[in-house]
Amino acid sequence: MKGFSVLASGRGSNFQALIDAMKTGALPARCLRLITDNPQAYAIERAKKAGIPVSILEFPAYPDRTAYEIALLREMQATGADLFVLAGYMRILGQGIMDAFPHRILNIHPALLPSFPGLHAQRQALEHGVRVSGCSVHLVDSGTDTGPIVLQRCVRVEENDTEETLAARILTEEHRILPEAVRLFLEGRIEVRGRRVILR
């Protein structure tokens, strides 16, 4: 069975969606390790409960960014994963990591890319006044949320939405498309042609 590792910095509800999908059989895969930069991340509790090993790499423990990136790269390689999933990982990955895992890292973003990349995507969508928003799973490249898009799901933006209510509605869809994208990837059904992803 193919394996993936997860990088997460916080609450880890998308990580939990992956764990749940493995339990039901919807995602026939193994989660090899959770890697986090945040020792307080609730994702750690979720990993422990599911019996998934955890590595904590705290950025301030390293002399500089390069040292951190090298340690993270080694940790990622050591998991032996076919795929890495960024599930609320709040750091930009360096070029060394991109080069080591070309088209082997997925990210989940709470907007319909290429709209509203970066932080506070739900707030950006509300402030812009869009009528629909949603979420995207994409392959990671060296830009911020710019890589080839694998799956997207739309949600309506209601006139009385706050950042929190919109985020919650989007999150429900995130929990559906992330396990689906991981499954497609691990089944070898994702082909990248330039910017486009062809699903087989």
Contacting positions for ligand GRF (CB under 6 A): 8, 10-14, 87-88, 108-110, 171, 174
Give catalytic residue positions: 109
Rounded least distance, CB 139 to ligand GRF, Å: 14
Nearer to ligand GRF among residue 118 and residue 188 (C-beta): 118
Task: State the residue number with the nearest CB to ligand GRF.
Answer: 88
Note whether 101 and 80 are within 8 A (CB).
no
Q: How many residues does the chain have?
A: 200
Note whether 165 and 125 are within 8 A (CB).
no
Q: How many helices (H) and strands (E) does the chain have?
A: 6, 9
Rounded least distance, CB 13 to ligand GRF, Å: 3
Rounded least distance, CB 193 to ligand GRF, Å: 25
Q: Name residue, tokens 């930069």.
A: 37
CA dist 78 and 44 (Å) reads 19
Q: Is 166 helix (H, G, I), strand (E, B) or coil?
A: helix
Other beta carbons within 10 Å of 128: 11
Q: Is 35 helix (H, G, I), strand (E, B) or coil?
A: strand
Nearer to ligand GRF among residue 12 and residue 179 (C-beta): 12
Nearer to ligand GRF among residue 72 and residue 166 (C-beta): 166
Nearer to ligand GRF among residue 59 and residue 62 (C-beta): 59
CA dist 152 and 150 (Å) reads 7
Note whether 178 and 189 are within 8 A (CB).
no
Rounded least distance, CB 8 to ligand GRF, Å: 6
